[in-house]
Copies of this chain bind each other. A is one copy, B any other.
């Protein structure tokens, strides 16, 4: 090899891709999602829940008795993964499973009462936290962000259920 290209402390180099990452939509989406979620997830863990458990509970609080596959889609998890998440949640007593009476292949998942309480409570916290974030971007586009994201999601994955 040639002489080592030892960089000085000041990191002053000619980078042909200057500022790609930090202005790249996919990166900004991932970074924003990560950072925002991390903040709220602390509150989730304070309740002895894991993040996937919270996600599932939030889905079920809205629509109890979902089937595994659909729950997986909504919660953004892979089906086999969700199956195992539900198994653990059942052991913890958060949910119960029962096969669909109409279609024996389906397994429907129901929130147990105490878990529902906790879910509703967390949803309140989530709404408060969301409002804080919206306040942060009040002057930057708080009113446009949700519609924009929804448009994107609908386009990329028409199956994702988005009401409004």
In the complex, the chain B residue whose C-beta lies closest to that of A31 is B153
A42 contacts partner chain B, Cβ-Cβ < 8 Å = no
Residues of A contacting B: mostly: helix
Interface residues in A40-68 (C-beta closer than 8 Å to B) = 40, 58-59, 61-65
Q: Is there contact, CB below 8 Å, between B120 and A35?
A: no
Determine if A91 is an interface residue (Cβ-Cβ < 8 Å): no
Q: List 15 A-B contacts (CB under 8 A).
A: A5-B110, A7-B65, A7-B108, A9-B102, A13-B65, A20-B127, A24-B130, A26-B126, A28-B145, A28-B150, A31-B153, A34-B76, A38-B156, A136-B151, A141-B144
Q: Which residues of A contact B (CB under 8 A)?
A: 3-11, 13, 15-26, 28-40, 58-59, 61-65, 69-70, 73-74, 76, 98, 100-102, 108, 110, 120, 123, 126-127, 129-130, 133-134, 136-137, 140-142, 144-153, 155-157, 159-164
